[in-house]
Chain A
């Protein structure tokens, strides 16, 4: 499976460096599921039966699916939404010039093809003919220009997508050609063109419904309840989507989610805990694939006593990641040490040896003594209570820290307060959560630059910043790859934060549904899901 993925990523990078789109329609669900395996729970017998249903079922059109989601969404504006849980839903409503494909490639969406100039500074997009917005209007070059300029900050000076701030001009060549000029070469920039194309001026209309070109159109959103979308009849990909209606229902409690899945009021739910997966695999299909998230015990590098590198290193030694994997990951997660997805093999460097994957109590105590905390200290770990995986991880970590004398306690907080207090205002000491990677390898590393607005752990290393500058200056992915490995190393040596696991994403799917496809990025594509004929 890893082999497949690495092949996908190599292809993807080769493409990014050169030109063009694979132009695939992503229609055949058979190919897409190649990186999916059924979960190896103890109930092997029943899960065999269950997967049999998927294999033989014939696709039908129509029907409604209720998808459970773990958190409320933070914005309906595809350019300003920051939470991964929001983006994974908006993926169904909005599309960029290009979009992510299940195999890690980019496929053309609103654009039909694109070309990159020899010097890597000019992107020329040819728009696909006949792509319609959900309001019925055809997508014009004006709309594309407006959307890109809005993301790049050319409209009001504030770039909404930081990677796109290198864009200096968006020119309409003719009604189906748009040219984007950048001031520096960035082989990863093409991934930013997955950001949504929206109607010209639409984002400035307050309270307007979100309008995109995706397989589903927005119907309604009720805070704390969910979001409802319906089939886009004019979708440009022939034959998609299958479903008439998808309701994303917010269920912040994992036990409620299990009950609803068992009762059949929710048909699909991702990011199951190990226990949920075991429990649900008796009655439903439970699919599993490597996730695109890195989980960590994040430490606020700016607060006492975590501003001392020795204290942070002591915590690294105290963590027993193998145990966390066993308790929380069901034993099939990948133990990690730095901010890179292990599936991105070309860029990932295994640094688990630095502090070891088990606990090293002596080393931790020694470092604490050196740092002037021979008796440990109090540490509050703020955890978003709607993520049982993180709550359980925190519980395990509290025990592990106790072993070295650190008196940790858990403060379970709501997701919205986590976003504002922890992530935005950085008013916390430690937290357990996961970061979501995207298809650009550097994404998860870019946030630890000291000046980054996403650097919520207040990581501050001159060396790191220096190397990152070299990354930005590098023009080939090979060169960048070397620097990425260096960055991972610095992050680990400085003990910026306690990375723990890349947890497998386990998804419960009702027995009469098929076509669910995993992506190497954090999205939930409902367009390929269908009910099988009875």
Chain B
């Protein structure tokens, strides 16, 4: 995967260096600043993830880049075309699969694809051929003649992505591509996204799931309250968060204060109390540090009933980045 575009391409001026480049992009709805000045540089041919809780501004940001919502302020180019002055040129080089299936439920799968093919300019026979090719590739050939309202969630999502690939886009926008899918359908969508990126399509996706960003994206931007709060590779973000979290349930919840003090001291971090009594989580730099902390607890006579090491959840990344849990952040001033 090309993490950085070649210097030659930049210098020659043949191709814009970045598939997407934004400066101070902003959008308000009433008094809510949904996107509050975002700078973004997405290199070509990369899977780039926008990670954040509900209401963070992910969808608004993506809708602006796909020309569906006009920005209030800031500038942006997509595949070298200016978002505001040349929206039609932007539309010619992108495709978007929204959070809600952008398909005609009454039409069959094939008719949906033929419809979009014709809108792109394919004539009768070509449009049908392109639709059938895509149906076969996305394993929808058997369901081609069925109305989309009879499709499963996974089938809809695949058809929706297929509809975005009639003409190979420069940038493919995927808004929460796996939300609401079962694990197997989710894997299927991931496979498609990886295969696409391998052919050089730039993929910008939004997600609420850290593991999805982790699995797919070469680079991740974390946004909250419409602002960028972190950017980097998944490894960089995890390093900022701590490589793992130690979760402990105490046998005697009355010892929680003592345990919290000890863990904070041993692991040199902020200890989070769980919702249920007697549960603590703390960032642990390594498995060794975690086991030393556990040993110290036991030595002090504090018995853990249960403990586990896990990678940081989105909540924990947020805690590390903002000092507050993601939920609380998302709900303080979420739009109705």
Is the pairing of A and B real? no
B contact set with A: CB distance below 8 Å: none
A contact set with B: CB distance below 8 Å: none
